[in-house]
Structure 1
């Protein structure tokens, strides 16, 4: 049975009463079909409405074979129910969808750029333009033109037409359907086939702001917001700016310069820290080499560290073998739950570090790899680092 679509008769309907025709279950859950509804189902780039049926939340709305399914989490035990639309969400979608028509038409009017897809997101909207790049000047001109159309407060009309009537209308793009054709029209500006909900005038879109754009394969994806979202974005950005004013002790017009100075200072400090770390590593390197002992005819360096990153272990081990001959290095780092191991040797030592690592990894249920001269691995702390080091020496 077809559901009578009240949202097409009047998109401003917020409450209605309808007869329950069917209650059933599909892969998405329990749903209710009514003889008529003001709930808009997902389609045409516009998300579904939410709200209540008989005070039960409607969490999704889909159209299947001309019946509108309202997904709710419990069965209704009435024959007639009252529906209530989440009007804030619906009107937001109406503003965004009409705004998309205006932005798309402005791109085409000014530059001939075609829109190939539209997405109405929770926080922002996006269209894909059939062009590889977009300039800032072009985006600014489109935004200005779009807001002119809003201020001119053109009517937004909807019309059901037959296919033969289309030849007399300047459609923005060819239609994919030949029956049940619904047009959304901004006279002398945009004529387009659309099944979504829209306000009855461009003035109710309120405002349009293009946020940014990016390359998307062969297209350019343009992100924008309309209506109440513009005001919300302004409030959020103003709060951020006020916080930055306090952090940088600078007014808005000087924030960029203040932030640049902080970043430059950070880069300088990071460079200085790296240099100091390298100096400390060299001191540690000399001290560690001095602590080497005799082992199987070679000099052995063995150390256990706490919370030492694997990258530092590898750097230290590599530096030792570069500065010393006939040396073998076993380093372990212990954390609360894991043990990490690095073993290496100088070129003149005939030992296979990869095999040494493979021999001890089962003791810690670990994984690792490497080469004959240097290997690394890690695993669970199933034994003490001292015991693991002893095993390495015995199997080495």
Structure 2
């Protein structure tokens, strides 16, 4: 059985050992080592990566009491030097220790137990036994958990027997009855856990709570610790600086400036809608005036209008004539067919019957249908065909 160095110390970064077995599986080569500091997947924490000799460790899994390391191929020698990806390991240590401390704070402040923990590559989450969590409570929890970080409580881990465990004030009883590992944050909590942790809360650095969401009747809190929290702060500062520069104002006035900009945009959108409405009215009048007495369809190709604009124009036209209206957008290769409802002809049924011949996709109702085409040539071909058939 592999000696698990990550239980001796989470700070072991490199070591020399012997490959004790190797097996080829469908997805790669898996080796066992006499000693390993590579932590396998478990307890919500991802595995470590790094190198065994010159071979990259791609995955680490625990099967029974044995730790298996996935490699692309077998190293040439059985005596190997190993090294962790230390930045990944320390990141996991910060996040996992931060989760323990954060869960303890939520228990203390709101009597909320942690139901689950997930450590992802970008952020971590805990699901709490709460139905609601206000912004004020989030702020209070964040303030308190960072205060506990500053107190720099020592964090130690050790194995106990079932009898020794019974005397400890555990947060939750573990499912295992042997090899029970306790992670203790001095003066805060005793927790059964097999993960890797920093040596004191000060090494967590900081904890930033990002948001809370409803999750199956409970509350999920998303957070970042340590270097991740610092990177989040730097990203937000960069974005804030770019917004300040774009709006030519200090960060304190950005929200006011954005509010004014939004109001200006609403006014511009309203003005543009009014202009479009007027233009559609004029164009509809022009198209109807230009139609010959024996015309069977009102047709028009637009070089500037998109589908939504064509639908508005079609509405204007069908208010003024019972003739079918066929419109084509050169901007989007899209067509619209409409009529006032005076005809029994179905626009949607016509499109459904013929679009496939022109690689078009779309549909609609009896009075209005629209479709898009993969090329201008296909769009024009359908437009000409529809003008003749309608």
TM range (shorter): over 0.9
Distance 1:267-1:161 versus aligned 2 partners, 3 A rule = same
Q: Which residue of 1 aligns with 2:121?
A: 122
Q: Which residue of 1 aligns with 2:307?
A: 310
Q: Which residue of 2 aligns with 1:26?
A: 25
Shift in Å, 1:77: 1.0
For 1:358 and 1:392, how far apart are their aligned partners in 2?
Answer: 12
Superposition pairs of residues 155-166 of structure 1, within 5 angstroms: 155-166=154-165
Three-state SS of the structure 1 residue aligned to 2:62 is strand
User: Which ranges in structure 2 are unaligned for 5 or more consecutive residues?
Assistant: none
Q: Which residue of 2 aligns with 1:344?
A: 338
Between Structure 1 and Structure 2, how many residues are aligned? 390
**Higher mean C-alpha displacement, 252-261 vs 385-394:** 385-394
1:33-74 CA-partner distances (Å, limit 9, x unpaired): 212111111111111111111122222211122221222222
**Higher mean C-alpha displacement, 379-388 vs 37-46:** 379-388
Q: Which residue of 2 aligns with 1:193?
A: 192
Q: 2:326 aligns with which of 321, 327, 330?
A: 330
Superposition pairs of residues 54-203 of structure 1, within 5 angstroms: 54-203=53-202
For 1:160 and 1:134, how far apart are their aligned partners in 2?
Answer: 35
**Higher mean C-alpha displacement, 37-46 vs 364-373:** 364-373
Q: Give the alignment's TM-score, normalised by structure 1.
A: 0.91
Three-state SS of the structure 2 residue aligned to 1:11 is coil
Distance 1:346-1:209 versus aligned 2 partners, 3 A rule = closer
Distance 1:27-1:264 versus aligned 2 partners, 3 A rule = farther
Q: Which residue of 1 aligns with 2:351?
A: 357
**Higher mean C-alpha displacement, 152-161 vs 305-314:** 305-314
For 2:376 and 2:274, how far apart are their aligned partners in 1?
Answer: 37
**Higher mean C-alpha displacement, 28-37 vs 366-375:** 366-375
Shift in Å, 1:6: 0.4
Distance 1:367-1:239 versus aligned 2 partners, 3 A rule = closer
Shift in Å, 1:275: 1.8
Three-state SS of the structure 1 residue aligned to 2:181 is strand
For 1:43 and 1:307, how far apart are their aligned partners in 2?
Answer: 58
Q: Which residue of 1 aligns with 2:11?
A: 12
Q: Give the alignment's TM-score, normalised by structure 2.
A: 0.92
Distance 1:226-1:394 versus aligned 2 partners, 3 A rule = closer
Three-state SS of the structure 1 residue aligned to 2:121 is coil
Checking the alignment, whether the CA contact within 8 Å between 1:294 and 1:300 is kept in structure 2 is no
Three-state SS of the structure 2 residue aligned to 1:293 is coil
Distance 1:74-1:384 versus aligned 2 partners, 3 A rule = closer
Three-state SS of the structure 2 residue aligned to 1:323 is coil
Checking the alignment, whether the CA contact within 8 Å between 2:298 and 2:325 is kept in structure 1 is yes
**Higher mean C-alpha displacement, 305-314 vs 263-272:** 305-314
Q: Does 1:214 align with 2:213?
A: yes
Checking the alignment, whether the CA contact within 8 Å between 2:41 and 2:60 is kept in structure 1 is yes
Shift in Å, 1:105: 0.4
Checking the alignment, whether the CA contact within 8 Å between 2:158 and 2:181 is kept in structure 1 is yes
Checking the alignment, whether the CA contact within 8 Å between 2:142 and 2:209 is kept in structure 1 is yes
For 2:151 and 2:99, how far apart are their aligned partners in 1?
Answer: 17
Checking the alignment, whether the CA contact within 8 Å between 1:291 and 1:301 is kept in structure 2 is no
User: Which ranges in structure 1 are unaligned for 5 or more consecutive residues?
Assistant: none
Question: Aligned Cα RMSD in Å?
Answer: 2.2
Q: Does 1:271 align with 2:270?
A: yes
Three-state SS of the structure 1 residue aligned to 2:46 is coil
